[in-house]
Structure 1
């Protein structure tokens, strides 16, 4: 049984270096900055162009949802916005969901924030929400992200060949998942 109340109330999750807090419009500046960073756009395969108004609306609509959890990733020492992490596409019948993370840019990459945020969200997904499976997709040109996911327990399950057209080239999408019964480092 999935605890949709846990999704709706979304408790703050705290680790050693990061805190996950309910994503809302108070994090607009950091989210807007990330959505304009070329490397973030590339790693997320984002073709869409966003307006400030649309991002304000999106962020304001995140609290209270019963079918997903959108978290701001904050540095614990000063609560600076580092990105967001999301548990979405919740399938209650099959107790599964999808995972996504996007950090704000190269200045926060490679510091362990993504690994810790991923592990915190997986603990929440399995131990609080009651999911059995969490899956994700990552582009072939992002080996750093694949290493983060593997460190958190994700296992490669497949390959979607030529699934992303980016800057005149086709790229593959690697699919990965972790089960509640899998070891979580």
Structure 2
């Protein structure tokens, strides 16, 4: 039976799940970050994030079990764009949840926030993620050569974006 996934706002009860995710080396390599987050720092970040109208943080869930995180960050009300990010718990990767979660986030960004553009940065070598984003309608806008230091080497990254109008055109076809 296929899971019905949904996005819901991050709550304090999600701290232990997020702490586990943010301290997973395999997950954080794709976020170009060190897997080093104390519970105290995470609590601080959650409080700051909840008070900031320029960020939206969601837990990806099947109604009960959390298995991912979705963020819409640096929402710019003047230029109407924001950065999209996602992480799926490794045990749940490869099940199509990233594509569904991306669709839900895009719908929220373009319907609720009325953004003009959603963008992201992805490792050029992360073929699976790039495939998910391209399938959702994101297009490569530029390449960042040797921009991130991951696992002892410098990695290239791609800047990708999708426009609200293109999203609606895809939904209507």
TM-score, structure 2 normalization: 0.89
Q: Name the CA distance, whole Å, in 2 between partners of 1:120 and 1:64.
A: 23
Contact preservation (8 Å) 1:23, 1:62: no
Aligned residues: 167
Higher relative contact order (CA 8 A, sep 6+): 1
- Give the aligned partner of residue 21 of structure 2: 34
- Give the aligned partner of residue 3 of structure 1: none
Correspondence 1:42-121 to 2 at 5 A: 42-47=29-34, 49-63=36-50, 65-76=52-63, 79-105=64-90, 107-121=91-105
Gaps of 5+ in 1: 1-15
Q: Name the CA distance, whole Å, in 2 between partners of 1:18 and 1:94.
A: 30
Deviation at 1:90, TM superposition (A): 1.2
Deviation at 1:37, TM superposition (A): 1.7
Deviation at 1:65, TM superposition (A): 3.4
- 141, 153, 169: which is aligned to 2:125? 141
Q: Is the deviation greater in 130-139 or in 57-66?
A: 57-66
Write 1 or 2 for the structure with the bigger share of helix.
2
Contact preservation (8 Å) 1:24, 1:63: no
Deviation at 1:141, TM superposition (A): 2.4
Contact preservation (8 Å) 1:140, 1:174: yes
Gaps of 5+ in 2: none
TM-score, structure 1 normalization: 0.84
Is 1:169 the counterpart of 2:156 in the alignment? no
Runs of 4 or more above 4 Å deviation: none
